[in-house]
Structure 1
Amino acid sequence: MHGFTDTTVVAGIDGSSSAVQAAVWAGAEARRRGRPLRLVQVYALPQVKAPVAFGTHEQVRAGLAERAEGWLADARDAVLAAHPGLEISTAAREWSPVTALIQESQHADLVVLGSRGLGGFTGLLVGSTAVSVVAHAHCPIVVVRGRTAHDPPPDDGPVLVGADGSPDSDAALAFACEEARLRGTGLVAVHTWSDVLADGMLRAHPMEEDPAAIEGAERDKLAQQVSGWQAKYPDLAIEFEVTRGRPVRTLLERGERAQLIVVGCRGRGGFTGMLLGSTSQALIAHSPCPVAVVRPQRTGRAR
């Protein structure tokens, strides 16, 4: 048993300062949601041909477990210093970080990670590992970033959400509306368009079409998608941002004045491939604020 409690906020801990910042951010999120916080450190025995050089497997395992408990204690202290009285549990787990986080997500409202890794989470946000976590997680994933490598994540500005009419961006809108409500701030729904259509084809006569007319039509589509959420959150101030260009560049630019960027796991049109390949790497690696990646609700979650 690993002490799972349903509807927790989970933070991955790896001994880095980035992970501690992410844990403190996760603590604030847990408090806003009225949820407990679970700090998780995942370690694995090194794959070496001559383990005797490092001691026996049991000695190595004991050393890694002791280090994990120390990292967890440090992170817990930092969270409690910022959020006194918050309910916090900790877990040191020997397993694959990706597999463990996916399992953790079955019982979580949210999984929160730092933007720079160390120890068990080294490289977590690079290449196929990040894609694996995002693709298979059962809840939203947040990567916590600041405006510079050493800055804490911002706590002012609106919530920014990428919207393109897809089911994934509907899930992102739902998450973003609730986040904006919990934070007492506004929401900016961002939609980009270009001469490339949703199926990857160029518009039939791009030079003959009026950009203002295209933008107006795209704005109408965005308003239609957001209208249901505006009705559900009548007190939430929602702004529309419709622009011609690349979605990642637009989100990064607008993110300079935001406290959270929310995107769907996959999109269509302007947001196709948002979390695959170089596009997702740019967003995660360069965002000036935390980034939430949201998938449509799955059935069969552990609840």
Structure 2
Amino acid sequence: MPLRPVIAGVDGSPESVTAAEWAAWEALRRDVPLRLLHARRRGPHPASSAPATAVSAREVRRRRARSILREAESRVRATTPGVRLTAEQCEGSATAALLRAAEQAEVLVIGSRGLSGFTGLLVGSVAQEVVARVSRPVVLVRADERFEDERLPGKDGRPSVRAPHRDVVLGLNLGDPCDEVIEFAFEAADLRDARLRVVSAWTGPSVLTLGPGEIGLVDHRGREAEWHGFLSALLCVWRERYPRVTVAETLVEGGAATPLVGAAAGAGLVVVGRRAPEGPRFGPHAGPVAHAAIHHATCPVAVIPHS
């Protein structure tokens, strides 16, 4: 069975070129090929009697697509010369092309416009629709992401490719834990020889959830201990499967979005899940925790769809 490639969508923007470089590093880590994909905008189809200007306009789009792919290829070969690389262009909607390509991908990587401060990732319309509809893991990468950013600073405080990798952070929903999401995070940490930091949240019963005559049968400390036990038991099988991965658990009461974004500030990668919407509903329905990571994390974000 042929290996699934890592696929990067490129459109000539700085963030897409950076995404291609990040995808190349990921392909090397996974020992799979890298495929660059550019979707050129479809123009009027020239009939046999169409004027030469219509034909030449189509050729201009082809040449621009080749130029965009050559630039991305050049950057990738300069930073990761050992990667097995192919590039192709297609005609039509970028969203449709990326969704089709993702079906054959190990991971789909796309660029996201990075902003400074607390705004983090500004996700464009194509990226939002792809994240909401894709059936395979997708990683969002900002334009200012560098290879060294995945690693801790060296002894002199400067970026160093020889320093240990920063944490991989997993936002784990204890109310709906999913094997695909957990496995992706453990594998990512294992590939990087990085620590995995698991961030989860728990909530106690409220007056709306307690039944008649029930007055918090377990005290606050007891409930927290139960959730800790559940989290540890849930991760036990994955610790056995990935014995090289050191795991740190962070369990908070209330919402997980804020602590997850806080953990992302010093991380190399954030991993979150996205439940596939039921029925023909499209749009950025990623859930509050995934939404917070996508829009506010300052490192690449992997979104893992699951049923």
| DSSP-derived class of the 1:261 partner | strand
Aligned with 1:241 (options 243, 250, 257): 250
Gaps of 5+ in 1: 48-54, 118-123, 268-273, 298-303
CA displacement at 1:231 relative to structure 2: 1.2
Secondary structure at the aligned position of 1:295 is classed as: strand
For residues 53-68 of structure 1, the aligned pairs below 5 Å read: 56-68=53-65
Give me the whole-angstrom Cα distance separating, in 2, the residues matched to 1:206 and 1:168: 28
Is 1:79 aligned with 2:76? yes
2:24 equivalent to 1:27: yes
The alpha-carbon distance between structure 1 residues 101 and 196, as it changes in their structure 2 partners (threshold 3 A), is: farther
Q: Which has the larger radius of gyration?
A: 2
| Overall identity of the aligned pairs, in % | 32
Of 40, 43, 55, the match for 1:43:
40
Distance 1:243 1:101, change over 3 A: same
For 2:259 and 2:215, the matched residues in 1 are separated by 21
Q: Shift in Å at residue 279 of structure 1?
A: 5.6
Match status 1:111 vs 2:108: yes
Q: Does 1:188 align with 2:182?
A: no
For 1:167 and 1:207, the matched residues in 2 are separated by 23
8 Å Cα contact 1:26/1:37 also seen in 2: yes
Select which of 291, 299, 305 maps to 1:289: 299
Number of paired residues?
268
Sort the Cα spacing of 1:66 and 1:278 in 2 relative to 1 into closer, same or farther, 3 A.
farther
> How many Å apart are 1:135 and its aligned residue?
4.3
Deviation by residue 1:278-300 (Cα, 9 ceiling, x = unmatched): 76443222211111011248xxx
Q: Distance in 2 between matches of 1:196 and 1:12?
A: 45
Letter in 2 for 1:215: E
TM-superposed deviation, 1:82: 0.9
Between 212-221 and 249-258, the greater mean CA deviation after superposition: 212-221
Q: What secondary structure, in the 3-state scheme, does the structure 2 residue paired with 1:18 have?
A: helix
Query: Which residue identity does 1:152 align to in structure 2?
Result: R
Structure 2 spans left out of the alignment, 5+ residues: 45-51, 115-121, 152-165, 277-283
Change over 3 Å in CA distance of 1:196–1:134 after alignment to 2 = farther
AA partner of residue 236 (structure 2):
S
| Aligned-partner residue type, residue 123 of structure 2 | L
After superposition, residues 1-303 of structure 1 pair within 5 angstroms as: 6-45=3-42, 56-116=53-113, 125-126=123-124, 129-130=126-127, 132-145=129-142, 150-152=144-146, 154-156=149-151, 157-165=166-174, 169-195=178-204, 202-204=208-210, 210-266=219-275, 275-276=285-286, 280-296=290-306
Contact 2:33 2:83 in 1 (8 A): yes
Q: CA deviation at 1:210?
A: 3.9
1:275 to 1:180, Cα distance in 2 relative to 1, 3 A: farther
Asked if the contact 1:192/1:246 (under 8 Å) is kept, the reply is: yes
